[in-house]
Amino acid sequence: MDLRISMLVLFFALLISTTKALDPCDSQSNGNDLSVIPIYSKCSPFKPPKIESWVNTIMDMASTNDPERVKYLSSLVAQKKSSSVPIGPGQRLFNINNYVVRAKLGSPGQLMYMVLDTSNDAAWVPCSGCTGCSNTMFTPNTSSSYSPLDCSKPQCSHLRGVSTSCVSGGPTDQCLFNQTYGGDSTFSATLVQDSLTLANDVVPNYAFGCITAVSGGSIPTQGLLGLGRGPLSLLSQSGSLYSGLFSYCLPSFKSYYFSGSLKLGPLGQPSKIRTTPLLNNPHRPSLYFVNLTGVSIGRVLVPIAPEFLAFNPNTGSGTVIDSGTVVTRFVQPAYEAIRDQFRKQVKGPFSNLGVFDTCFASTIEAEAPIVTFHFTGLDLKLPTENSLIHSSSGNLACLAMAAAPNNVNSVLNVIANYQQQNLRILFDVANSRVGIARELCN
């Protein structure tokens, strides 16, 4: 009897251990590899209580968040006599809601879920005592390595483009700033520094914005980790630790139970990967510009006037790769040419669904041509799951791209995260190149 009870206890112990091992949310980041979590997935603390279909989620993000995101990217024009870019309106800054990574701030480390953002430089987190912030907050008082930044520090000058002020108190004059956003909303923050822990790596004295007050409708629910190219970005502040290099593999929004990965530094990066030059644009120095030379639909190279694709450092125009936009956006004339060629090769009739204006019966999806992005030295043939999206009922398939919003005088084409899913995207700033390789991101 005792033997049977012992065996039963052992069985349940093994069952619990195995179940825990199979839980994708229990797998922690390790080495230089961090889990990239879709914000609405099982592993995200920000998932809604009632899960909608992933299609409806994308429709909502593409219709609501994307227009603001494109406005934000278009607003990132460097100011004269400054190596920084202005902080965009907060609604555009925080309302990304696509992918998050686990990070720890302070000593001992406090777990934070931070949005992965390649087009922002600084990191931001809601801090304890913040008025109007969410419950997920960093508590500076419990960290032995925390300190506010003096106004005389160069990091404070990198925040040009916002309303900054210095307040005397304690041993230093604190660098404070305020930002108005969304019309009637504002946030206030203090520029501080503390240890940032990513997997097994510790970046000491990491400068970030500690949000102290938020008012209005758009309240940041999580932190933000800036992976841009500016002086307050992770690559700049980590120095030689990551050798100016990182890559990510974004899982499909359909991957409710799986995460992708963010690899920091040269270790573990793919040895064989096709690359295209990474371009520097002085008008938008934080963004990752690449040279998109053309787009093909099937075997047809779409006739697009060169000025709508060309990289122009004098005007700030060109094509950027961005982790925060959901569906790829082209300037209006370029998108219309791409859409019209796609329609020529697929039998109509066509209908609209949210931001997508080229939807057709999914029964003829097999006729849909391959979409190819041509970059200098690199052709990217999009898998069907990256070029088409289906309605929640499944009876429609849509070309998963759109034009820039009508109210944006945009000169940017944005390669967005839906088109990047299940691809390894390598950003090698030190060697001025971007690489792309197929990879199953789960």
Residues identified as active-site: 117, 322
Q: What is the dihedral of CA 286, 284, 99, 93, to 10 degrees?
A: 110
Label residues 332-371 b or e (16+ Cβ within 10 Å = b).
eebbebbbebbbeebeeebeebbbbbbbbebeeeeebbeb
**Tally of CB atoms within 10 A around 173:** 18
- Rounded CA separation 119/102 (Å): 19
Name the 3-class secondary structure at 266. Answer: coil
HSE-up of residue 390 (Cα within 13 Å, Cβ side):
15
Q: Helix or strand or coil: residue 246?
A: strand
The sign of the torsion formed by the CA atoms of 306, 312, 317, 318 equals positive
Residues in the chain: 442
Token pair, residue 62, equals 């593409």
Q: Calculate the alpha carbon distances from 351 to 328, 334, 355, 358, 387 in Å.
A: 19, 20, 11, 6, 17
Residues 342 and 297: beta-carbon distance below 8 Å:
yes
128 near 170, Cβ under 8 Å? no
